[in-house]
Structure formats: C-alpha cells, structure tokens
Amino acid sequence: MHVLIIGADGMLGRKLAAALAAPASPLGAIDRLKLVDIASPPAPAGLSAVTASEAVDLSTKGATEMLIATRPDVIFHLAAVVSGEAEVDFDKGYRVNLDGTRALFEAIRHEGLERPYRPRVVFASSAAVFGAPFPERLDDDCATAPLTSYGTQKAICELLLADYSRRRILDGIGLRLPTICIRPGTPNRAASGFFSNILREPLAGQEAVLPVADDVRHWFASPRAAVGFFLHAATLDLETVGHRRSLIMPGLSATVGDEIEALRRLSGEAAVRLIRREPDPLIERIVSGWAERFDAGRALALGFTAEATFDEILRVHVEDELGGRA
Amino acid sequence: MHVLIIGADGMLGRKLAAALAAPASPLGAIDRLKLVDIASPPAPAGLSAVTASEAVDLSTKGATEMLIATRPDVIFHLAAVVSGEAEVDFDKGYRVNLDGTRALFEAIRHEGLERPYRPRVVFASSAAVFGAPFPERLDDDCATAPLTSYGTQKAICELLLADYSRRRILDGIGLRLPTICIRPGTPNRAASGFFSNILREPLAGQEAVLPVADDVRHWFASPRAAVGFFLHAATLDLETVGHRRSLIMPGLSATVGDEIEALRRLSGEAAVRLIRREPDPLIERIVSGWAERFDAGRALALGFTAEATFDEILRVHVEDELGGRA
C-alpha cells in the first residue's frame, strides 16, 4: 500500500505518520509512505526506507499533479490554514483551504482520466462547518452554516468531496473533527487553542491565558482519538455510508470549568492558579458561533470512538506527551 | 439606482429585465440598467436610454472586474450552466457555476478595498442544493446534500455568498428556486425541462415527451412568481435575516398527474393525448434525487409568495405567454 499524508508537519499529521511508520502499522504492509507539508516534515521515529518527506505548497501550480503522479492508494489530507489565521487573512485562507484542496481533487480526476485511479481520500474537516443558532439535536442532517471563513472553506471542501465521490473520481470521507485537546507543543493561531493551553501549560508549570468564561461549553477529543479516526477512516467500507461523506466524529461535551476541575483533580490547586483570565472579544465572538454538543450517531455506528471524560483526556496527554508523569 | 443583471438572456433574466425596464419599475427610479449574458441580451420592450446590453463570459479573466468597475447598487446573478449540462460537462459546470460566481464576488471585494462598496447581490440558487434521503420537514435548517454537480455548485456559491455577506463585502441573498413552470420558449438542457414541456407543447398543439412516471411529485412556481422573488429580494431589509442568506422560495408541491389533470381541465382530452411517455433513466435518476415538497416558512414570513394550484400556474402562462388565449 502507498500512503500520502498532506499536512504531515502538523500536530495530527506527525502523530498519524508515527502510527503508520511503526512496525505494526494499522493499515497493514505499507510499501511507501510520503509525508508532505509546506515545510519538509520531520521523519517519524521508526523511520523506514519506504518513507519520504517533501516540502510542497498545494496552492503552487503543478504541485498536486506531482503528488498524485505516483498514485497513492490512501491520501490523508490534513493541510490547512487554521481558523484564527483564515479569519484574519482572507486570501490565504481561501487559497490554501479551498483552492489547495480543490487542486488535489482535480489532480486525482486528471490522473484517473489517463488510467483508472480512485484513491481513498480522508479529509480533515471540522465541527466549525456548523454555526449558531443550533438546533436541539445537531447531527449530520443539519445545515452547514459556518460563522467563520475557515468553517466556510471546510464546508465547501466537504461538498466537493461528496461530488467527486459520487462521480467515483475518488472514494472520500470527511472527518468533522471536534476540537483536539490537549494539543501538545506550543500555541498555534487556532481560535480554539486556549482550550488546550489552560491544561498543557499549567501541567508544565507555566501560566496560560483563558480568554472566555468558565461556562463556555465545547466539543473535544484527544489527539490519540483523532489519529484513531483517521486510521479507521482509511480502511472503512464506504459503500454503506451513502452520498453524505462527511461525518461528525465522536467527542466529549464539556465546559472550561469541567477542564479546570479535571486539572485540579490531577495536579491540585497550584496548577489551577496558573490560569490567568483575560477576556478576548474576537475569540469570544468566534467561539460563541461554535456548537456545544453534537450527535455523532452515524460515526459511532461505523465504529469511531473517543473519550467520555476530561480525566481520560488528561490521562492520554500524560501518557503520550509527558512520559506518564503528571 | 444602478442595476446589473447577469444571465439577462435566460428566460428569467429576460422577464426580470422587462419588469425593470418598464416605466413603473418596482425598484423605483433606475438610472442605469445593464444586461449581461454569454451572448448579448436582447433589449426588453420599453427600452429606455439608460439600458445597456453586453456579451460577457464570467469565467474570462478580468470580465467580472469590468462589470463591477461601474459599481452597480443591485446585482442579479442568474447566469448558470443548467443541471443536465453541468452533469455531463464537469469542467464547464464548475468553471461557469462556481468559478464565475466566485470571480464576481471577488471583483466586488477588490472594488470595496479601493473605496467602500457593498452592493445587494441576489443570487439564483436552486432547490437542487438538497438531495435524497429527505427528512419529514425539509427547510433551510437542513443539510445541503446535493446529488448533482449543479446542486453542488449552487450549494458552494451559497456558502460563499454567506461568508462574503458576513464579512460585509456584499449584502447577499440566495433564492432556492423551485422548478419554474411553465417555462416559455423551447426546451433547454435542464433535467427538469419536461415538467414544462408536457404543458406548454400540448397547449400549442405540439407533442411532448414525458420521461418519468405520473406519480413523480415535485416543487413548482411560475415564471411570474420567480420574477416576483427577485424583485422582492432586491429591496428586502436583510439585517433581520441573519447569517443564513439562502432561502427556500415558496412553491407548489404537485405530481405530474396533477399537471396533466390541470391541462385536461383547461384544454381537454385532445391536449392530454399529445403527451408521449418515453422513460429516460438519466432523467429519472436525477429527478429521484430531488425533493417533493419544502417548508418555505422563512421566505413566506419575509413576504415572498407563489401559486397555490396548477390551474393558477396554467392561467399565468396563458396570460403572460399566450395573450390570454388558451
């Protein structure tokens, strides 16, 4: 099997690459694993000779054709300008998130016109395709009414993914990801970054800024759960999924207060005191347009799973990022 | 007021131009009315000196910038490759229906970066943004899950319209049009054309082909009602509409059998006998992915109106197209 990860230098991309490069890859025997991002992605631990890494800007003419010329069987597409940046930089958000994705799908179509080709495409979408006001039950039958340009770009790519799948140009599945928490590493420009910062930084003895109120409720899954979504999506039989190819992934509905209580249980009051409250109107506005909970029934029925408590999410972080020591 | 109609050579575009060129235009004093289409649109009856006509291909580089340079206050965008053609010609459908519309919105954005500019944009969308399976109640809160490339292109443009409106680049409204019936003139390549053909042709003493079964149910409004939608949308206060800028327009849910019965009541058995049944699998498949009825509650509350019976729809055709003589 030949696998391509686009956006392999991002947090999820790196974890996914590591899972695939491991000796017992969940996808079975991998002949070739190609890692692509705007900067050349680092080689994962356990690198084998079949792994290659390359710096590619999807929005450059000819870039996607070059990636597809080697006809990967499974393409994970995680490359994106994050929500905060896409809101500030209109041109960059549309160029990368919409045009880059469309160029990828078009390259697949043109490759298939030469000789039959229909790869599995696993597309990282987002719960941000939905926007307020929300119905009582928010599931995959609800309107995508995003309140950010990022959410708009993801919703458009979902429509393209569905149309290209319906025409059997590719075999696509879109993962409407919850907010990933706890993101390791350093803060990025995603408007949702603080949900991770207020746990990760205090666990490392550092201060963190909380820009919204404690009663803000949101939808979460761990990085480990998210990597599990991608691996499951790569091998799932999609014929039974029908034409609606984007699915709300399972997650945990919890408040900022729930996060803080879980932190208190794990690390005590001293850790909690490192959270500094600094309301930010732009972040508050963006977050208020996101849903608090979802009905992920379709994905659950297909075998996707995630955490049920914030204590579990903290435990995953301690195990995967802190060598087991909180 | 300066008004631009893109797609002014289409059936609805011509009727809209005629309504605006009339001495008592529903939009008030029009200083300038520009009519644009892929071929130079005909001058409407009652042409005044303020009306200009031009042939423009929206997908040509620089075309939309040129149209927007004169800063129209109201832009009616009706130009599109129809559903049947967009399904057969993938490239043309995406180039015209998606890229052409996006180029228009981008031209407006760039004009506004020079000097404040925020026109009303009335976009002709379609009920084809929805696709089977349908919920019990199909309204504007339901997922756009189109089963044609045409529906996909319209749904994507709706998302762009909403994002550009949210960012106050333009003040947009999308009209999710029912199938327009009875279309005057000659059959076009729309997959829905037969719904009109089986009434218009027998009324003119001609044979017509019916490619689907009599119990096929669909959603209709007359050309007169559709022109009314556009005129109403041009002047409606959209601040109360919120961020969901595309609305299901009112219509009539009726079967092919209902159409035939209304024809029988108006013109008798001889007219009905001119309908020739010739099942067409492609048309049957496309039509089976369309909804049978909608909840147009939002549009009705905003003052949009349409016909309630097929007898009314036939009467409108007789009055507007046949000089009052059936």
Under 8 Å between Cβ of A132 and A182:
no
**B143 vs A contacts (CB less than 8 Å):** 140-144, 244
Distance from the Cα of B143 to chain A's closest Cα (Å) equals 4
pLDDT value of residue A45 = 72
Sheet holding B171-177, edge to edge: B51-55, B32-37, B2-6, B74-77, B120-126, B171-177, B246-248
The confidence band for B231, taking pLDDT boundaries of 50, 70 and 90, is: very high
ipTM: 0.94
In tens, the pLDDT along A77-121 reads: 999 998 889 999 999 999 999 999 999 999 999 999 999 999 999
Under 8 Å between Cβ of B135 and B191:
no
Q: Which of B156, B168, B294 to mutate to test the interface with A (most CBs of A within 10 A)?
A: B156
Q: What's the burial of B46, exposed, middle or buried (CB within 10 Å: 0-12/13-18/19+)?
A: middle
Distance from the Cα of B87 to chain A's closest Cα (Å) equals 10
- Pairs from A112-119 (Cβ < 8 Å, separation ≥ 24): A112/A169, A117/A71, A118/A168, A118/A169, A118/A170, A118/A171, A119/A71, A119/A72, A119/A73, A119/A74, A119/A75, A119/A170, A119/A171
**A166 vs B contacts (CB less than 8 Å):** 147
In whole angstroms, what is the distance from residue B142 CA to residue A257 CA? Answer: 32
Under 8 Å between Cβ of B170 and B108:
yes
Q: What is the CATH number that goes with domain A2-178+222-250?
A: 3.40.50.720
Task: Tell me which residue in A135, A159, A244 faces B155 most closely, judged by beta carbons.
Answer: A159
Give the chain B residue nearest A163 (alpha carbons): B149
Distance from the Cα of A228 to chain B's closest Cα (Å) equals 26
- In the set B94, B117, B150, B164, the catalytic residue is B150
**B147 vs A contacts (CB less than 8 Å):** 166, 243
pLDDT value of residue B245 = 97
Q: Is the Cβ pair B244, A145 closer than 8 Å?
A: yes
Single out the residue of B128, B173, B123 nearest to residue B149, CA to CA: B128
Average pLDDT rounded to a whole number, residues A269-292: 92
In tens, the pLDDT along A164-216 reads: 999 999 999 999 999 999 999 887 667 889 999 999 999 999 999 999 999 99
In whole angstroms, what is the distance from residue B185 CA to residue B285 CA? Answer: 25
Catalytic residues of A: 150
pLDDT value of residue A59 = 85
Distance from the Cα of A202 to chain B's closest Cα (Å) equals 36
**A143 vs B contacts (CB less than 8 Å):** 140-144, 244
pLDDT value of residue B114 = 94
pLDDT value of residue B186 = 80
Give residues with Cβ within 8 angstroms of A50, minimum separation 6: A30, A31, A32, A33
Under 8 Å between Cβ of A100 and A79:
yes
Task: Tell me which residue in B109, B143, B152 faces A141 most closely, judged by beta carbons.
Answer: B143
| B150 carries an active-site annotation | yes
In whole angstroms, what is the distance from residue B47 CA to residue B22 CA? Answer: 8
In whole angstroms, what is the distance from residue B119 CA to residue B117 CA? Answer: 6
**B162 vs A contacts (CB less than 8 Å):** 145-146, 152
In tens, the pLDDT along A110-168 reads: 999 999 999 999 999 999 999 999 998 999 999 999 999 999 999 999 999 999 999 99
Read off the amino acid at residue B48. S
Residue B155, by phi and psi: left (phi above 0), alpha (psi -120 to 50) or beta? alpha
In tens, the pLDDT along A223-260 reads: 999 999 999 999 999 988 999 999 999 999 999 999 99
User: How many CB atoms neighbour CB A137 within 10 A?
Assistant: 11
Distance from the Cα of B77 to chain A's closest Cα (Å) equals 20
**A155 vs B contacts (CB less than 8 Å):** 159
CB pairs under 8 A between A and B: 61
Q: Comparing A14-28, B192-206, B212-226, B305-319, which segment has the lowest mean pLDDT?
A: A14-28
Q: Is the Cβ pair A152, B144 closer than 8 Å?
A: no
Give the chain A residue nearest B161 (alpha carbons): A152
Fold of B2-177+222-250: Rossmann fold (3.40.50)
